[in-house]
Amino acid sequence: MAKKFKVFIKSKAINRSNDVDTAIDVNQGSTVHISAKADSIYQLQDANTGLGPKRIYAKRVGKNLHIMFDDNIQPDVIIENYFDLMLGMGNEVVGLSADGSLHQYVVERVMHAESIETLVDGGEAESLAMVESNNTQMLEVPELSDDTLALLPIVLGVAAGGAGIAFAMGGGDKKPAPPVYVETTDTTAPTGQTGGIDTSSDSGDSNRDGMTRTPNPLFTGAAEANALVEVTINNKTYSTHADNSGHYSIQLDSLLEATYTSSIKVTDAAGNSSSVNGSVFTIDMHVEDFTGFLSHLSDSGAFVDDGITRYTGANPLVINDTAETGYNVIYTGHTEAGAHVTIKIDDLLYSGQADQNGIYAIAIGTPEHPLTDHTIYRPIITITDVAGNTSGPQQAGEFTEAQFADFANNQELYNALVIKPFLIDAALDGGGQGFL
Does 189 map to a domain?
no
SS3 string of the chain?
CCCEEEEEEEECCCCHHHCCCEEEEEECCCCEEEECCCCEEEEEEECCCCCCCCEEEEEEECCEEEEECCCCCCCCEEEECHHHHHCCCCCCEEEECCCCEEEEEEECCCCCCCHHHHCCECCCCEEEEECCCCCCCCCCCCCCCHHHHHHCCCCCCCCCCCCCCCEECCCCCCCCCCCCCCCCCCCCCCCCCCCEECCCCCCCCCCCCCEECCCCCEEEEECCCCCEEEEEECCEEEEEECCCCCEEEEECCCCCCEEECEEEEEECCCCCEEEEECCCEEECCCCCCCCEEECCCCCCCCCCCCCEECCCCCCCCEECCEECCCCCEEEEEECCCCCEEEEEECCEEEEEECCCCCEEEEEECCCCCCCCCCEEECCEEEEECCCCCEEEEEECCCCCHHHHHCHHHHHHHHHCCCECCEEECCCCCCCCCCCC
Is residue 211 within 8 A of residue 254, CB to CB? The reply is: no
Model pLDDT, residue 147: 52
Does 181 map to a domain?
no
The CA distance from 87 to 123, in Å, is 17
The CA distance from 425 to 359, in Å, is 26
Find out whether the peptide bond into 393 is cis, omega within 30 degrees of 0.
yes
The CA distance from 178 to 116, in Å, is 22
Q: Are residues 14 and 115 in the same domain?
A: yes
Q: Are residues 245 and 343 in the same domain?
A: no
Model pLDDT, residue 221: 95
Q: Are residues 222 and 77 in the same domain?
A: no
Task: Single out the residue of 136, 148, 149, 144 nearest to residue 180, CA to CA.
Answer: 136
Instruction: Name 44's bridge partners.
Output: 7, 95
Model pLDDT, residue 315: 67
In one-letter notation, the amino acid at residue 406 is D
The CA distance from 18 to 207, in Å, is 66
Q: Are residues 21 and 145 in the same domain?
A: yes
370: how many CB neighbours lie within 10 A of its CB?
Answer: 17
Task: Single out the residue of 11, 12, 9 nearest to residue 155, CA to CA.
Answer: 12
CA 387, 389, 391, 393 dihedral sign is positive
Q: Are residues 221 and 92 in the same domain?
A: no
**Residue 354 belongs to a domain with what CATH number?**
2.60.40.10
Q: Are residues 279 and 297 in the same domain?
A: no
User: Last residue of a domain, which of 236, 261, 283?
Assistant: 283
Does 176 map to a domain?
no
Q: Are residues 33 and 146 in the same domain?
A: yes
282: which residues sit within 8 A by CB, 6+ positions away?
210, 211, 212, 258, 259, 260, 387
Is residue 64 within 8 A of residue 78, CB to CB? The reply is: yes
Q: Are residues 376 and 412 in the same domain?
A: yes
Q: Are residues 373 and 270 in the same domain?
A: no
Does 120 map to a domain?
yes
Instruction: Tell me the pLDDT of the chain (436 aa) as tens digits.
Output: 678 999 998 877 644 344 566 889 998 888 999 988 877 889 999 988 889 998 899 999 999 999 998 877 789 999 998 888 766 565 578 898 888 888 888 887 754 545 677 888 888 888 888 875 444 333 333 444 555 444 433 333 333 334 344 433 344 444 444 444 444 577 899 999 999 999 999 998 777 789 999 999 999 999 999 999 999 999 999 999 999 999 999 999 999 999 999 999 999 988 999 999 999 999 999 999 999 999 988 888 888 889 999 888 876 555 555 555 445 789 999 999 999 999 999 889 999 999 999 999 998 888 888 899 899 999 999 999 999 999 979 999 999 989 998 998 999 999 999 999 999 988 654 333 344 4
Does 190 map to a domain?
no
Q: What is the CA radius of gyration of the chain?
A: 39
Using alpha carbons, list the distances in angstroms from residue 356 to 280, 339, 387: 19, 9, 15
Task: Single out the residue of 435, 426, 436 nearest to residue 401, CA to CA.
Answer: 435
User: Last residue of a domain, which of 221, 251, 283?
Assistant: 283
Q: Are residues 11 and 47 in the same domain?
A: yes
**For the chain, how many structural domains are there in total?**
3
Q: Are residues 254 and 310 in the same domain?
A: no
Write out the residue range of the structural domain in which residue 229 sits. Answer: 196-283
Does 191 map to a domain?
no
User: Last residue of a domain, which of 251, 283, 315?
Assistant: 283
Does 140 map to a domain?
yes
Q: Are residues 14 and 132 in the same domain?
A: yes
Does 175 map to a domain?
no
Task: Single out the residue of 381, 342, 335 nearest to residue 358, CA to CA.
Answer: 335
Is residue 80 within 8 A of residue 61, CB to CB? The reply is: no
